[in-house]
Structure 1
Amino acid sequence: MTQLSINTTQNVNINFTAASIGDRILAYLLDFLVKTAYVIVIYSVFFYGLGINKLMDKMDDWSRISILVLFYMPVAFYSLLLESLLEGQTLGKRLLKIKVVKIDGYQASFGDYLMRWLFRIIDVSFSSGIVGLVSIIASEKSQRLGDMAGGTSVITLKNNININHTILEEIDVSYVPTYPLVIKLSDNDARIIKETFNSARANKDYHMITRLKTKIEDVTGIRNQSGNDEDFIKTILKDYNYYTQKM
């Protein structure tokens, strides 16, 4: 399998394993089955069971088209909605334990998923998947065109250490958090922060610590209240653990 070495904005290299083509195809087929099941249920229950098809016979063409678009819209937007709601996974991807991630190590945004969805027309729909398959094989990071446009790739989560294990810290029961906005961070963000911080401290790279502090402020909107960059980052990590362990 292809190994993805992702260099984050904090200059930390993180190694992921790209999802295999087989897993991606199987996830696609599972998602196709889900969408097919939805269509069958809608057709059987609403159109025949509730007699909507008979009502549509009395409608004009535009009204019929509007109803069909309304009912089948979830099929068209399936991957966009699910990847946005499930943080890079559809039902098929979740079953196959693969996930869409940003190649800079951060959590993909709705805009990234939207770009993947738009290019799906070229990658999959118009070319029967040939364009997507060729681009995945040919690209260095196993990306289809939609991934290249969105700055994403698909990785496997199989046999990986749970990311929570790498960021877990002991929090005293009496601990009072300082920065509630820390919940804007993802587990992956917290891991990158912790690894970068520990590396910078070990190398006495105070410039990197300052850059890391600035990046945290930019991403979360939090402002350093301690006056000390190291104390600020330590508090961020403790607060993140506090809120995520309470959830």
Structure 2
Amino acid sequence: MNQIGINTSQNVNIDFKIASVGERFFAFVIDVLIKLAYAFAAAWILFDVLRIGSFMSGWDNWSYGAFMAIMYLPAIVYTFVLESFFEGQTPGKKLMKIRVVKIDGYQASFGDYLMRWFMRLIDVYSNFGVVGLISMVTSKYNQRLGDVVAGCAVISLKSDVNMSHTILEELKEDYIPVFPQVILLNDNDIRIIKENYQRAIKAKDTMLVKKLADKIKQTIKLDADNLTYTDLQFINIVIKDYNFYTGKIS
């Protein structure tokens, strides 16, 4: 399986496995089944239960078309909305353990997800998906045209070694957490923080420690003026607190 090296915004290069065409196809099928289930449920409730068909008998084609577009709007924008809210994942992608990421290491933006969704008209819905399939098969990172335009790739979260193994910390039974705001972080954030933290200690890079601490404070929206910890102490506590709150205790 191909890999992609992503240089994160914290200047750490991490290798991720590229999601295979098969994984993406099955995620797509799962999402299509969910959308079809919604469409059938919505039609059944409106036309069989509420029986609104009689009220629409005198409508012209434009009015009928507008109503149907509104009724099926959740299915139409399903992929775009869910990827935007759940950091590059839909239920299908979550079940297949794959995710959309930016190649430059930054979090994909609203515009990136919108561009990927819009390009589905060419990649997926024209010519029965042949364009998207050809693009994925021929591109280095299995990217369809929408991925290329948005600067994204779809990675696999499956690994022989679970990601949480890289973020575990020894905690004493009576450990008391200090910063509940760490729940705003995720496993990948802590992995990057810990790698930078360990690298900074090894290299005695005080500048990296300060930048890392400042970035964490900004991300978890912490008032830094009242802190009495050094930057090294602060980062170490953040890693331990995250392990405490997420139950990742060795």
| Fold-level similarity (TM above 0.5) | yes
Matching of residues 97-176 of structure 1 within 5 Å = 97-105=97-105, 108-126=108-126, 128-176=128-176
Deviates more, 1:49-58 or 1:139-148: 139-148
Q: CA deviation at 1:107?
A: 5.0
> Structure 2 vs 1, CA of residues 121 and 58 (structure 1 numbering), >3 Å: closer, same or farther?
same
Q: CA deviation at 1:149?
A: 3.9
Q: CA deviation at 1:173?
A: 4.8
Q: What amino acid is the match of 1:8? A: T
Q: Secondary structure at the match of 2:119?
A: helix
Partner of 2:18: 18
Deviates more, 1:189-198 or 1:44-53: 44-53
Asked if 1 retains the 8 angstrom alpha-carbon contact of 2:167 and 2:191, the reply is: yes
Match of 1:242 among 241, 244, 249: 244
> Structure 2 vs 1, CA of residues 134 and 163 (structure 1 numbering), >3 Å: closer, same or farther?
same
Partner of 1:232: 234
Q: CA deviation at 1:124?
A: 2.1
Q: Does 1:46 align with 2:46?
A: yes
Q: How many equivalent pairs are there? A: 246
TM-score (normalised: structure 1) = 0.84
Deviates more, 1:35-44 or 1:75-84: 35-44
Deviates more, 1:96-105 or 1:24-33: 96-105
Asked if 1 retains the 8 angstrom alpha-carbon contact of 2:56 and 2:64, the reply is: yes
Q: CA deviation at 1:110?
A: 4.3
Identical-pair percentage: 48
Distance in 1 between residues matched to 2:222 and 2:9, nearest whole Å: 18
Q: CA deviation at 1:104?
A: 4.4
Deviates more, 1:183-192 or 1:145-154: 145-154
Partner of 1:215: 215
> Structure 2 vs 1, CA of residues 220 and 147 (structure 1 numbering), >3 Å: closer, same or farther?
farther
Asked if 1 retains the 8 angstrom alpha-carbon contact of 2:9 and 2:106, the reply is: no
> Structure 2 vs 1, CA of residues 131 and 92 (structure 1 numbering), >3 Å: closer, same or farther?
same
Distance in 2 between residues matched to 1:237 and 1:121, nearest whole Å: 43
Q: CA deviation at 1:108?
A: 4.1
Partner of 2:204: 204
Q: Secondary structure at the match of 2:124?
A: helix
Deviates more, 1:131-140 or 1:50-59: 131-140
Q: Secondary structure at the match of 2:101?
A: strand
Q: What amino acid is the match of 1:213? A: A
Deviates more, 1:202-211 or 1:215-224: 215-224
Partner of 1:56: 56
Q: Secondary structure at the match of 2:93?
A: helix
Asked if 1 retains the 8 angstrom alpha-carbon contact of 2:5 and 2:13, the reply is: yes
Q: Does 1:6 align with 2:6?
A: yes
Q: Does 1:29 align with 2:29?
A: yes
Asked if 2 retains the 8 angstrom alpha-carbon contact of 1:123 and 1:144, the reply is: yes
> Structure 2 vs 1, CA of residues 174 and 200 (structure 1 numbering), >3 Å: closer, same or farther?
same
Distance in 2 between residues matched to 1:120 and 1:141, nearest whole Å: 18
Could you list the structure 1 runs, at least 4 aligned residues long, displaced by more than 6 angstroms after superposition: none
> Structure 2 vs 1, CA of residues 126 and 184 (structure 1 numbering), >3 Å: closer, same or farther?
same
Q: Where does structure 1 lack aligned partners over 5 or more consecutive residues?
A: none
Asked if 2 retains the 8 angstrom alpha-carbon contact of 1:107 and 1:186, the reply is: no
Q: Secondary structure at the match of 1:125?
A: coil
Distance in 2 between residues matched to 1:106 and 1:170, nearest whole Å: 30
Q: CA deviation at 1:194?
A: 0.5
Q: Secondary structure at the match of 2:247?
A: helix
Asked if 2 retains the 8 angstrom alpha-carbon contact of 1:106 and 1:188, the reply is: no
Distance in 2 between residues matched to 1:139 and 1:179, nearest whole Å: 44
Q: CA deviation at 1:59?
A: 3.8
Partner of 2:69: 69
Q: What amino acid is the match of 1:167? A: I
